Structure 1
């Protein structure tokens, strides 16, 4: 059973899955291969779930993180569930490096996608919030749903991080409710909304924020938390995961009743991962970089827990392995880990050739698995 995460910057999870499957098939036609490409709420979430469930993808033009028009994919599953990726409308790769500053980016386009799902009367919405370029506390998304923010002089404010400290009042008169709709936020971190471990201090520097910007945004998020409590009676100060994606989880939890859940656990449920692992003889997963962070709610960690539950061997294929620098042994539950890099090679070249390299390692792994069998198939590598 093949269930990798994306190899960020080079392969989406379904492309990685196809490469591994192709390598195994070239090694031997005797394998029965099941592919379930995965994600944890970030890049590739829509594609992974739609491919695994037989759903369909639709495109909608929405506002990007800087207000420009972008085309974003949404997934509609057979049971009516709508799957949305924040990164499709507010992703960091959509912002040129020289323009990156989370004080001036918005989740407005994410709100437009949510609005589409609500108007379609989807019974459940799954929102993956990985890979954001934003730190607007979700105000952009709320604005797209009809909420209005005003400063002390009554002037309307755009939903961006820069305006968080300026919000004096909130107008919900035209806000689109999501009554009767279950909203689940797929998230792989537990950071709070503000403070030393919050959205601004931990993630804003990666999105282009200076030390001064970080302090400004943190104060803005703290002010926003007070306003949320004042408006709804709901405290988001200690909400786990509220600090992910610039704080959008806090806003959607308070105003739409959204629940923040572990991304890999939710997606595993949607694609039937547990049953597939239970029936497998061997499980192969992978990601771009296999290191200590892998065990903090990411895809491989989720896969590993199911493998441990059913006593199944797990092999990890990765672009870069840094585990041996951190520990003498692999985590319990992982049989082996292999880098796909073949000899001295730059990271850029490895990323460009990722599909070929992954297929080649899978081929060699397949040959080892077939050791002792009669196999006259031609060696194609």
Structure 2
């Protein structure tokens, strides 16, 4: 149906009605149509809210204005923090608590997700996550992925025939050397002594000892990072500074990982050639490369999650999509949740609105990716100059509820 807006006729017939191939309803029929169907599929707001919490806040705000609309809630993740929480809501699987260690070797709690079909899911951030360290503890020269190896080993001990490892949000830059050590492959120096944990120690790696204890389980790296392990766009150069590395550290770590990659190719049976340049090898401080070295493969994290939650089917039936993440910036458009959702919505002719803690992406870039509108909590709270960043970090759920209520007033019919 259409309503007059000044001298312009605005078609407000639900998009699903047109896609279904039906004729335009009469005014009487249109009055009986149900409200809008809105798909809520955000990522986490790193450091503040999980993806389910973001979705819940948006849903509460929307319902406060448009309670008759149908909301489809599908929180998402791309392999980083929150990966297991999202999958646990979507899959028939049991959660198994596991003791592991953090990036500095301190005891911490983790878990694995096991399906009846024999697939185990683990989240690298539970053992390697940057959020597990204080800012002064961040040092990628000495942080280790050993705890992730313990999680993978636990999944295999529980009978997993395939282990899917969500990569993202890591504090490590050791190319998975710690993970390999926990799985039975120990890096050695030139005199046969086991190396200390951490990326910097790999400058002295000369050989490997032992064999991976995988019991024929297949490994899958769930990541949407396509960076290689080495070089200008590699793990150390691109992600090292986010983990506390200065310029000297980046050069040292890149050289250490180059040496380690050469040893893996020479001494680890089944390790592919050109390990240092393979797409995805640089994910999570080089954990992608370690998984490739063990005969595993890389798979899109957001693709895996969207299949699990049935996102494609949901997109076919809705009038509006709301997604979001903590910071909507240039990295968001490179394989992150928002880019995947917006592109899928655009392909179906469905408008996509982004809500984020902050928005640093230009309108043209966002529109080209399929984003109809983008809204920032920082601006909602008055902008940088009026303490908007502090408020966005301190009261994100409150801000999201208010933003969603405003959006419902603008979009709901």
TM-score of the two chains, using structure 1 as the length reference? 0.91
Cα displacement (A) at 1:111: 0.2
Q: Measure, in 1, the Cα distance between the counterparts of 2:400 and 2:92.
A: 26
1:221 matches 2:273: no
Task: Determine helix, strand or coil for the equivalent of 1:213.
Answer: helix
Q: Measure, in 1, the Cα distance between the counterparts of 2:205 and 2:282.
A: 19
Q: Measure, in 2, the Cα distance between the counterparts of 1:151 and 1:306.
A: 49
Q: Measure, in 1, the Cα distance between the counterparts of 2:239 and 2:282.
A: 9
Task: Determine helix, strand or coil for the equivalent of 2:222.
Answer: strand
Q: Check the 8 A contact 1:2/1:37 in 2, yes or no.
A: yes
Task: Determine helix, strand or coil for the equivalent of 2:397.
Answer: helix
Q: Measure, in 2, the Cα distance between the counterparts of 1:171 and 1:328.
A: 49
Cα displacement (A) at 1:346: 2.9
1:92 matches 2:92: no
Task: Determine helix, strand or coil for the equivalent of 1:330.
Answer: helix
Cα displacement (A) at 1:298: 0.5
Partner residue, 2:410: 368
Q: Check the 8 A contact 1:143/1:159 in 2, yes or no.
A: no
Task: Determine helix, strand or coil for the equivalent of 1:361.
Answer: helix
Q: Measure, in 1, the Cα distance between the counterparts of 2:391 and 2:238.
A: 30
1:308 matches 2:350: no
Flag the 1:123–1:31 CA change in 2: closer, same or farther, 3 A. farther
Q: Check the 8 A contact 1:50/1:77 in 2, yes or no.
A: no
Q: Measure, in 2, the Cα distance between the counterparts of 1:89 and 1:320.
A: 28
Q: Measure, in 1, the Cα distance between the counterparts of 2:351 and 2:88.
A: 27
Partner residue, 1:358: 400
1:323 matches 2:365: no
Partner residue, 1:191: 227
Flag the 1:133–1:328 CA change in 2: closer, same or farther, 3 A. closer
Partner residue, 1:247: 286
Q: Check the 8 A contact 1:53/1:78 in 2, yes or no.
A: no
Q: Check the 8 A contact 2:153/2:214 in 1, yes or no.
A: no
Partner residue, 2:35: none
2:194 aligned to 134, 139, 156, which one?
Answer: 156
Q: Which moved more, 1:73-82 or 1:343-352?
A: 73-82
Written as runs of structure 1 = structure 2, the 5 A alignment for 1:137-156 is 137-156=175-194
Q: Measure, in 2, the Cα distance between the counterparts of 1:148 and 1:26.
A: 57
* 5+ long unaligned stretches in structure 2: 1-38
Q: Could you give the per-residue CA deviations for residues 245-284 of structure 1, whole angstroms, max 9, x where no partner exists?
A: 11111111112x2111222112112221111111222111
Cα displacement (A) at 1:104: 0.6
Partner residue, 1:378: none
Cα displacement (A) at 1:71: 0.6
Cα displacement (A) at 1:9: 1.6
Cα displacement (A) at 1:172: 2.2
Q: Check the 8 A contact 2:339/2:369 in 1, yes or no.
A: no
Flag the 1:145–1:333 CA change in 2: closer, same or farther, 3 A. same
Q: Measure, in 1, the Cα distance between the counterparts of 2:186 and 2:147.
A: 16
Written as runs of structure 1 = structure 2, the 5 A alignment for 1:1-381 is 1-77=39-115, 79-173=117-211, 175-179=212-216, 181-231=217-267, 232=269, 234-235=272-273, 236-255=275-294, 257-324=295-362, 327=364, 330-331=367-368, 333-340=370-377, 341-343=380-382, 344-371=386-413
Q: Measure, in 1, the Cα distance between the counterparts of 2:412 and 2:303.
A: 33
* 5+ long unaligned stretches in structure 1: 372-381
Q: Which moved more, 1:111-120 or 1:75-84?
A: 75-84
Task: Determine helix, strand or coil for the equivalent of 1:188.
Answer: coil
Partner residue, 1:379: none
Q: Check the 8 A contact 2:119/2:162 in 1, yes or no.
A: yes
Q: Measure, in 2, the Cα distance between the counterparts of 1:350 and 1:276.
A: 30
Cα displacement (A) at 1:335: 2.0
TM-score of the two chains, using structure 2 as the length reference? 0.84
**Radius of gyration: which is bigger?**
2
Q: Measure, in 1, the Cα distance between the counterparts of 2:44 and 2:366.
A: 25
The number of residue pairs the alignment matches comes to 367
Q: Measure, in 1, the Cα distance between the counterparts of 2:361 and 2:245.
A: 30
Flag the 1:328–1:139 CA change in 2: closer, same or farther, 3 A. closer
Task: Determine helix, strand or coil for the equivalent of 1:146.
Answer: coil
Q: Could you give the per-residue CA deviations for residues 106-162 of structure 1, whole angstroms, max 9, x where no partner exists?
A: 100000000011111223322111111111110100111111222111212234212
